[in-house]
Amino acid sequence: MNPSTVTATVVTPSPTSVEEVRTIIDGAAASADRWAATTAQDRGQILEQVADALDSYSDYLIAIAAQETHLTELRLRGELKRTTFQLRLFAGVLSEGSYLDVRIDHADPDWPMGAPRPDLRRILHPLGPVVVFAASNFPFAFSVAGGDTASALAAGCPVVLKAHSGHPRLSAATGRIVNQALHTAGAPEGLFTVIFGTESGKVALNDPRIKAGSFTGSIPGGRALFDIANSRPEPIPFFGELGSVNPTFVTRAAAQARGVQIAGDFVASFTMSAGQFCTKPGILFVPEDSIIPEVLGSTSLPAPAALLNNRIQQGYLDVLSELRAHRDVSILAQGADSLADPPSPTILKTSISALLADPHSLFRECFGPTALVVTYDDEGALLDVARGLDGQLTATVHGEGHEPLLPELVRLLAQKAGRLLWNQWPTGVSVTYAQQHGGPYPATTNSGSTSVGTAAITRFLRPVAYQNFPVALLPSALTDENPVRIPRRVDGHLVTHP
């Protein structure tokens, strides 16, 4: 590719009109059959070519991203690397083939159900065109070429990508590179398009040809889109990642053993990228009589950093002001500029009894460089907190391992969060086979799904069973020959080495 052809796009795009959105969905729908019929191996190779193209434009993309998001170059380089790694990881998922969850039951006249079992063969098929709403805080990894785009394309679904208003030029540039790579690799035209403007996203989500939606953002925004998806004449699955406080519990024993270290790591985690992570540890529970409040009170906090954009900064300052004004909240540490533009980090403090008395005001996400330290005397009160939690993306425990309350605390937290951490920090969501990024509402609108890791591909698939079909009319993955050589469940038994 020639960089000059891409550079030409770097003007702020105008909102996509309703007519344009319809035309774009025409194209997505027209590409769906050919993309679904493209072999998994070929789809994987195409995703790898997209990754290569993005890597080859990294300097260019990161320069635009830094201008638009105020994130550091170091952070943005890491995020882009993660994004292209993710595309390549899905190529591996496609090649391995377990994601199809193939099940083959041969006919059995003696099936003990009381009636003969027919020949039944089940596979997952792509849902069709989907709309993905990009996030503000991950201009690469949860945006144009991010996780949902990767998993939807991998699944065999065309993608209409609603760009986030916080980084429109980067979205246009990334979209152009992705589309050039798809075109060069031979993917069908219309497979992937970036659209702009709030209204355009709603139009797309309401279009009957769109078969699923995904979103990363705020609770009100995500709930509004969730409601649209469910109130359509034909409701569609909607995978919204909305909000999370990510409570972190430090036991007395851990505070005694490693209080200074925990305090330092906590500050590093909650201030990372100016606190603009959905997994920011927003609330830290520590013993009142431990060294941690004292260490945090005298810690030197990072310098002020501009937030992603003005709207996010204003939202942050509003929530911070409300928290500061709460009668049970004091300021444990802050820079001189904690309410300025740009704001410096703030550590607030309250007690566990105050939190339990007014969770609505105190147990809330404050998107930006603020965290709330909650002190306790009775460690058992942590169980009361865990029982009352809303759904979370993550919940973290720092402990020594021998504390009597740990089994019960972990058991309760497993009911409330999608990922539990032990003696680590929730920021930095690794892209792996076992990752789970998604928890009970309001953390997500669909706790059965993940937006990170290889399991994410299943959100854009649905099962179809073929009964009594001749080989010539079966998808090849369902034939006895298994030419694609993937793991399958045959007559109830998992067969991994075909």
Catalytic machinery residues: 241, 278
Shortest Cβ distance from residue 121 to its own copies (Å)?
A: 6
What stretch of H or E contains 492? none
Please report, to the nearest 10 degrees, the dihedral formed by the alpha carbons of residues 208, 214, 216, 222 taken in order: 50
Q: How far is CA 39 from the centre of its chain?
A: 27
Q: What is the 3 state secondary structure string of 60-73?
A: HHHHHHHHHHCCCH
By CB under 8 A, what part of segment 420-439 binds its own copies? Answer: 420-424, 428, 430-436, 438
Nearer to its own copies, 186 or 448 (CB): 448
Q: Around 87, how many Cα atoms within 13 Å sit in the side-chain half-sphere? A: 29
User: Do residues 344 and 306 make contact, with C-beta atoms less than 8 angstroms apart?
Assistant: no
Based on the shown chain and the rule CB under 8 A, indicate whether residue 407 belongs to the binding site for its own copies.
yes
By CB under 8 A, what part of segment 344-383 binds its own copies? Answer: none
| Rounded CA separation 409/425 (Å) | 17
Shortest Cβ distance from residue 177 to its own copies (Å)?
A: 20
Based on the shown chain and the rule CB under 8 A, indicate whether residue 410 belongs to the binding site for its own copies.
yes
373 token code pair: 């330290």
Based on the shown chain and the rule CB under 8 A, indicate whether residue 487 belongs to the binding site for its own copies.
yes
- β-bridge mates for residue 121, sequence order: 104, 466
DSSP assignment, residue 391? Answer: P
Q: With CB under 8 A as the contact rule, which of the stretches 113-121, 265-273, 318-326, 378-386 interacts with its own copies?
A: 113-121
Based on the shown chain and the rule CB under 8 A, indicate whether residue 237 belongs to the binding site for its own copies.
yes
11, 115, 325, 336: which one binds its own copies (CB under 8 A)? 115
Nearer to its own copies, 3 or 118 (CB): 118
Based on the shown chain and the rule CB under 8 A, indicate whether residue 227 belongs to the binding site for its own copies.
yes
Shortest Cβ distance from residue 299 to its own copies (Å)?
A: 24
What does the DSSP assignment read for 53-117? HHHHTHHHHHHHHHHHH---HHHHHHHHHHHHHHHHHHHHHHHH-GGG--EEE--BTT-TTSSPB
135 token code pair: 């996030």
70, 103, 164, 349: which one binds its own copies (CB under 8 A)? 103
By CB under 8 A, what part of segment 82-101 binds its own copies? Answer: 82, 85-86, 92, 96, 98, 101
- β-bridge mates for residue 108, sequence order: 117
Shortest Cβ distance from residue 391 to its own copies (Å)?
A: 8
| Rounded CA separation 171/177 (Å) | 10
By CB under 8 A, what part of segment 28-87 binds its own copies? Answer: 33, 37, 78, 81-82, 85-86
Shortest Cβ distance from residue 414 to its own copies (Å)?
A: 5
Shortest Cβ distance from residue 15 to its own copies (Å)?
A: 29
Site string for its own copies, 446-485 (x = CB under 8 A): xxx-x---xx--x--xxxxxxxxxx-xx------------
